Structure 1
Amino acid sequence: MLSRWHVHATGYANELRSLPDVVITAVWDEDQTRGKQWAEELGAEFVADLDTLLAREDVDAVCVNAPTNMHPEIMIAAAKAGKHIFTEKVMAITTKEAERIAKAVKDAGVKFCISFPHRTRPANLFAKKVVDEKLLGDITLMRVRNAHDGASSNWLPQYFYDPVQCGGGAMIDLGAHPMYLCRWILGKPLRITSMFNSFTNRPVEDNAVCVIEFENGAIAVVETSFVSKSSPFSLELYGTKGSLFVGGSENRVKLISDELATKISGWMMPSQLPEPLPSPIQQWVNGILRGSEIHFGVEDGVQLTELMEAAYISYREERMVEFSEIEHL
């Protein structure tokens, strides 16, 4: 386990410990006090030096939950040491950094998974299927909202508002889920504009919206917040032949489609959704041990970072940003 910095680190460790073929052997943390305490909880050894940990023969793979600005150095070192890599999102703060990680992973031939849990969920898998099968015709607009009250209710750690460690606030953290869902469903983006503010007057944004235009002509609205109480996840898709609603206060899936009008008139609720995919952690472990598919690899990680980098340029420079402007290796 490489750092307990991220709020999801404990959950990943618990899930790994629950798997029959996994043993947590060592912990490294940039905060030695926190790392030593965690290692004791896990019954593992704390290793203060990262290179020493990566050289250990009883470490086959690493789970990265370190500050985002440390991701490139940690993951490139892990790849060069031949360790399989799981990482919390986002992969890196800039696209060039993400591409450096991707190159190291490919050169080393190690397994890689980034945590995109919303892409494992039945309702979102259904949305992808509906779009791919053209049940909504051509998509004109997609809206995804993912928000909580971590800042307004003060339950997020204070370092989540550190612009250097995090690279941003609500959008780069919680907003990652709407971002990768839009990229997955709509394809390649063309341009983006951002409106961020800090409702709680912290150093990073806690309330944020991005508007993205895609190559296929669709527009996506990505909404996120650390200052929204009781804000259910919602995904909406609008097309030339119908609409789809996922989530909301009733947590339902509702569809209307001209393509289905001869069989079903008006709004329908599907009686069966796709089976969920294994969790990202399970995909990663199964990919390492059994060669099964990992659905969220380095290319997905680079694509998410590209979206985030452009979003923050738009916010800082107060302008619309073309994705052709983003620097690559």
Structure 2
Amino acid sequence: MKVAVAGLGWWGKQIIRSLGNSTKFKVVVAVDPMVTDDGRQFARESGVELAADLAEVLGRSDIEGVILATPHSLHEQQVLSALEAGKHVFCEKPLAMTADGAQRIVDACARQGKVLGVGHERRFEPAIVELMRMVRAGELGRLLHMEANVSHDLFRKLDPSNWRLDQKHAPAGMMTAVGIHITDIFVALAGGASSVRARTESLVFPDPVRDFTTATIAFGSRVQATISFLSVTPFHGRIAVFGDKGWVEIVSQGNVDQGLPTRLTHCSGTGVPPMERVYEANDAVLANFEAWADAVAGLGQYPFTAGELVDNIKLFEAIVQSSERGGEAVAL
């Protein structure tokens, strides 16, 4: 599939590097209205064209798909424009900033008959794949509770003007960076949320940048969850899922782009020694893109339903609202 990548920042470059290892993609052009000298050099070395105007690229007949790695508040309109131009779209997370926006996107995809990809590569990590298989196979029994803390300090290196620290694009601290991945997994396992209480705080970053986010979530299935994310501490990644027949804990050693192993621990009963498995890192980013390409080609089903995508943004929006209201409960 011949594609354009919009956004030539850190993650846009990472996407182009990953797609360079695939026979299913050819990145034709990178789009960025404010490209840096480093971006120009990267484009030359990667053998891709540079363009400043996404609308111009959407008019090109040689572009089959568009990949968006742009500031978050731009996603909805850019996705809708790409669909209107007849392109398949892969959008980095979050898909939209509101549930209504996410619904407009999935409805437009259905009307246009296009496949929507989304940047939730964590579902393609081997340990997460195994966790989801175990839960869906009933190996943990009835699902009861889920919890996660995924934190890192990469944002401390950013210039204060970076859009990733802007509340317009990245409200509720780390929710748009790492939290939205966790809620995607939890929604896939437990269904849509019914209520949430969330708090954020500026402990290290200057206000209004939030460096701490925590939330308690109730799902319609009556499963409960707690999540917390910090953007000022060395990397920590832990997800745990509990059922009435056992639990699973997943501990990651590094971010998805660092190529480090992940440990999965499974306890099936009191007094039964837990089983541990170590999963070597895969290119989960590329696995996600190739699943999207296969779905576009009619060779497989992309493993995200429209309902899951909208329910995840509903939960994200509720977390933002609750945190802005000092932890007030928000019903979905």
How far 1:170 moved relative to its partner?
Answer: 1.0
SS in structure 1 opposite 2:130?
A: helix
Per-residue deviation, residues 270-326 of structure 1 (Å, max 9, x unmatched) = 5698x9887111112222235322113544332221111000000111201000xxx
Alignment of 1:65-104 (within 5 A): 65-104=69-108
Q: Counterpart of 2:265? A: 254
Q: Counterpart of 2:217? A: 212
How far 1:36 moved relative to its partner?
Answer: 5.2
* TM-score when normalising by structure 2: 0.85
- Aligned counterparts of 2:196 and 2:9: Cα–Cα separation in 1: 27
Contact 1:91 1:98 in 2 (8 A): yes
Which structure's residues are more often strand, by fraction?
A: 2
Match of 2:312 among 304, 311, 324: 304
SS in structure 1 opposite 2:205?
A: coil
Question: What amino acid maps onto 1:253 in structure 2?
Answer: L
Q: Runs of 4 or more off by more than 6 Å in structure 1?
A: 275-278
Contact 1:90 1:304 in 2 (8 A): no
Q: Counterpart of 1:23? A: 26
Question: What amino acid maps onto 2:290 in structure 1?
Answer: Q
Q: Counterpart of 2:48? A: 44
Question: What amino acid maps onto 1:166 in structure 2?
Answer: A
Question: What amino acid maps onto 1:254 in structure 2?
Answer: T
Aligned residues: 317
How far 1:174 moved relative to its partner?
Answer: 1.4
Q: Counterpart of 2:256? A: none
Pair 298,43 (structure 1): closer, same or farther in 2 beyond 3 Å:
farther
Contact 1:116 1:296 in 2 (8 A): no
Pair 243,128 (structure 1): closer, same or farther in 2 beyond 3 Å:
same
Further displaced range: 296-305 or 77-86: 296-305
Contact 1:115 1:296 in 2 (8 A): no
Question: What amino acid maps onto 1:288 in structure 2?
Answer: V
How far 1:172 moved relative to its partner?
Answer: 2.0
Per-residue deviation, residues 77-121 of structure 1 (Å, max 9, x unmatched) = 101111111111100101111111112211111121101111112
Contact 1:112 1:297 in 2 (8 A): no
- Aligned counterparts of 1:12 and 1:117: Cα–Cα separation in 2: 11
Contact 1:27 1:38 in 2 (8 A): no
SS in structure 1 opposite 2:186?
A: helix
**1:11 is aligned to 2:37:** no
Q: Percent of aligned pairs with the same residue?
A: 22
Further displaced range: 60-69 or 287-296: 287-296
Pair 14,189 (structure 1): closer, same or farther in 2 beyond 3 Å:
same
SS in structure 2 opposite 1:245?
A: strand
Match of 2:133 among 116, 129, 144: 129
- Aligned counterparts of 2:191 and 2:296: Cα–Cα separation in 1: 28
Structure 2's unaligned 5+ residue stretches are: 254-260
**1:222 is aligned to 2:231:** no
Per-residue deviation, residues 208-252 of structure 1 (Å, max 9, x unmatched) = 111101122221111212111142x11112232322222167942
Structure 1's unaligned 5+ residue stretches are: 324-329
- Aligned counterparts of 1:186 and 1:4: Cα–Cα separation in 2: 33
Contact 1:141 1:239 in 2 (8 A): yes
Pair 248,58 (structure 1): closer, same or farther in 2 beyond 3 Å:
closer
- Aligned counterparts of 1:62 and 1:268: Cα–Cα separation in 2: 44
What is the alpha-carbon root mean square deviation over aligned residues? 2.8
